[in-house]
Structure 1
Amino acid sequence: MDIPSLSDDVTLEQLQLDGSGPVWLQIRRALAQPILNGKWRPGARIPAELDLKEHFQTSRMTVNKAIQSLAAEGLLQRRRKIGTVVSERAQERPVFEIWNTADVVARAGAEYGYRLLEREVVKDDQDKAALLDVSRSTRLLWLRCVHMSDGRPFQLEERLVNVDAAPGITCHPLETVPPGPWLLAHVPWTQAEHTIMAREAGEAEADALAVPLGSACLVVERRTWNGDVPVTLARLWHPGAQHRLVGRFEPAR
C-alpha cells in the first residue's frame, strides 16, 4: 500500500487561527484554505490530530469536530492506518456550498470589510413571511449588509432569519460581524437550496454595490432548513462584471 506523504507546502507552524468565531470553525478555515488554494494537494496527509491539538492549544475534540466537518463536505478523507488525507476531488466541489464570504475574499488575496445597512425584527409582515414560507405571526430578522473586497463592494446580502429557529441571532453584534458565520456556527441545517438568476440593479442595489442603475447583477438565492423548519433566506447580489461562478463536473457513470 502506498503511504501518502505529509503535506509540506504549508507547514503546521503556518496554520493560524483568525480569531473570528468558535475555535473549531477557525481550525476548519485554517485547514480548508491550503486545500482550496492547491497548496495541499489531493492525497497528501494533513497533520495528525494530536499535533493540531498541541499547535492550536485546544482540545482534541475541538480539532476532531473541525476535521469531521471537512470530511463530511468532501474536502478530507479518513483512511485507516494512514490518517486524514486531502480528498482526490477536493477542488472539484460543487459551486454553491455555504462558505464564509470573508474566506472567499481572503482566498483571492484581498482585504475583507463589512457594513450593516439595515437591521429590523419584523412580525405580521405577510410578504416577508411568504418569502421564508412561515406563518405570518413568526418573528423574522430582516438584514441588509454589504461585504467589501479591498474597500469596494463585493456582495450585497439581503437576509431573512427565522428567529424561532435561531433565537441567539438577535443578540449577535451584527453591526460589526456578519450573520453568516454565526448561523453556520450556532444553527444546524439539514438541507439547502440555491437558485441563480440574472437581475438588473434597482436603485437600492445600485447604491449599495456602487454600480450604475440597471447594471447586470448575478444573484444567488440561498435557503436553508433544519428538518422541516425554515432557518434563513439569503439573497446575494454580485456585480455581473466582477463575479463569476466556476464548477467542474464529470458525466455520470
Structure 2
Amino acid sequence: MSLTSERGKADAAGKPTLYKRIRLDIETRILTGEWPPGHRIPFEHQLMTRYRCSRMTVNKALSELAQADLIERRRRAGSFVRRPQHLSAVLKISDIRAEITALGRSYGYQLLHCRRRTATAADRARLGVTKAGKVVAIACRHSADNVPFAVEDRLIDLSTVPEAATADFAKEPPGSWLLHHVPWTEAEHTISAVVADDDTAKALDIAVGAPCLVIDRYTWRSARTLTAVRLHYPGDTHRLVARFTGG
C-alpha cells in the first residue's frame, strides 16, 4: 500500500482511495440493514487489521460516516450505527410507552424513586399552588431496546389526585397511569435545551455537558393543578415535530 493512497488520493487506475472504500463498505452494511441501528462498528484496531491500513485512514473513514449521521462515536465505548431520531408531538400529551412501542422498539421502565411527602416551597412554586399539601415525587427512566430514551421528574398534587397515593408506580409509569385514570382539561408545554449535569448524564448514559432536550409539562383540571413533569431526552437523538392546519 502506498503513502499516496493512505493520504486519500486516487490511485493510478482511478479507483476509490482506501479510506473511501472503508467508508463505502461500512455505509453499505448500514444501508442494507446488515448492521442495524445500535450495532457496534468494529473497533479501530480491528478495522486496521481487516483493511491493512493505518489508524489515521480508519479514523478518516469513521469521521466522514459520523458527519453523515450514519454512525455515532462514543468516547471509550466505540462507534455504533446511529439510531433514527425519535419524533414527539408538541400539541398533545403522549404516552412514552406507546410512543416507543409505535417505533417498533422494546419498551423498558425503571422507577428510580417514589416519595410521598409534604410539599416543599419549591414543590408549591413548581405546581403553582399556595397552600401546603401532600405530593408524590417520582423519578423514573424510560428506555427503548435497553437504551435510555428519557428520564422523568414528576410531581403529583395529592389534593387533586388522591388516588395517586396508592398507585403502584413501580409497575406502571406515572404518565401512562395518569392518562388512563385522571381526566385533564388544560395542559402546557415548555420546551428548552440544557447541558447534562452529572445525574442526568448518568441516567441517560451520555457525557456530562452533552446537549439535552427538555420538556416541562403542566396539566390542570378546572384550574386545579394535577401534575408537573420535566422530561430530559438526549439532544442528539430526539426532536419535536408539530403539524398545523389553517383556519
What TM-score range do you get, normalising by the shorter chain? 0.5 to 0.7
Q: TM-score normalized by structure 1? A: 0.60
* Equivalence for 2:140: 145
Aligned-pair Cα RMSD in Å: 1.5
Whole-Å separation in 2 of the counterparts to 1:188 and 1:223? 13
SS of 2:141 mapped into structure 1: strand
SS of 1:160 mapped into structure 2: strand
Instruction: Supply the AA of the counterpart residue of 1:235.
Output: R
1:101 aligns to 2:105 (yes or no): no
Report if aligned partners of 1:145, 1:156 keep a CA contact under 8 Å in 2. yes
Give the unaligned 5+ runs of structure 1. 1-92
Instruction: Supply the AA of the counterpart residue of 1:133.
Output: G
Report if aligned partners of 1:111, 1:150 keep a CA contact under 8 Å in 2. yes
Q: From 93, 116, 122, give the equivalent of 1:121.
A: 116
Give the unaligned 5+ runs of structure 2. 1-87
* Equivalence for 1:134: 129
Report if aligned partners of 1:125, 1:136 keep a CA contact under 8 Å in 2. no
Instruction: Supply the AA of the counterpart residue of 1:242.
Output: T
Q: Structure 1 residue 202: deviation in Å? A: 0.9
- The equivalences for 1:53-64 within 5 A come to none
Report if aligned partners of 1:189, 1:226 keep a CA contact under 8 Å in 2. yes
* Equivalence for 1:64: none
Instruction: Supply the AA of the counterpart residue of 1:227.
Output: S
Q: From 172, 178, 202, give the equivalent of 2:167.
A: 172
Report if aligned partners of 1:126, 1:136 keep a CA contact under 8 Å in 2. no
Farther-moved stretch of structure 1 (198-207 vs 116-125): 116-125
Once the two structures are superposed, residues 116-171 of structure 1 have per-residue CA deviations (whole angstroms, 9 ceiling, x without a partner) of 01111121411111111113511111110000100011011110000111111121
Instruction: Supply the AA of the counterpart residue of 1:98.
Output: I
Q: From 146, 156, 165, give the equivalent of 1:161.
A: 156
* Equivalence for 2:237: 242
Whole-Å separation in 2 of the counterparts to 1:140 and 1:201? 26
SS of 2:239 mapped into structure 1: coil
Once the two structures are superposed, residues 184-226 of structure 1 have per-residue CA deviations (whole angstroms, 9 ceiling, x without a partner) of 1221111000000001111111111111111100001110000
The share of aligned pairs that are identical, in percent, is: 37
Q: From 200, 207, 232, give the equivalent of 2:227.
A: 232
Once the two structures are superposed, residues 21-66 of structure 1 have per-residue CA deviations (whole angstroms, 9 ceiling, x without a partner) of xxxxxxxxxxxxxxxxxxxxxxxxxxxxxxxxxxxxxxxxxxxxxx
Report if aligned partners of 1:218, 1:240 keep a CA contact under 8 Å in 2. yes
Whole-Å separation in 1 of the counterparts to 2:89 and 2:231? 17
SS of 2:171 mapped into structure 1: coil
* Equivalence for 1:111: 106
Whole-Å separation in 2 of the counterparts to 1:233 and 1:163? 12
Count of residue pairs brought into register by the alignment: 160
* Larger strand proportion of the pair: 2
Report if aligned partners of 2:119, 2:135 keep a CA contact under 8 Å in 1. no
Task: Tell which structure's C-alpha radius of gyration is larger.
Answer: 2
Once the two structures are superposed, residues 68-112 of structure 1 have per-residue CA deviations (whole angstroms, 9 ceiling, x without a partner) of xxxxxxxxxxxxxxxxxxxxxxxxx96331121111101111000
Q: Where in structure 1 do 4 or more consecutive aligned residues deviate above 4 Å?
A: none
* Equivalence for 1:208: 203
Farther-moved stretch of structure 1 (133-142 vs 105-114): 133-142
Instruction: Supply the AA of the counterpart residue of 1:109.
Output: G
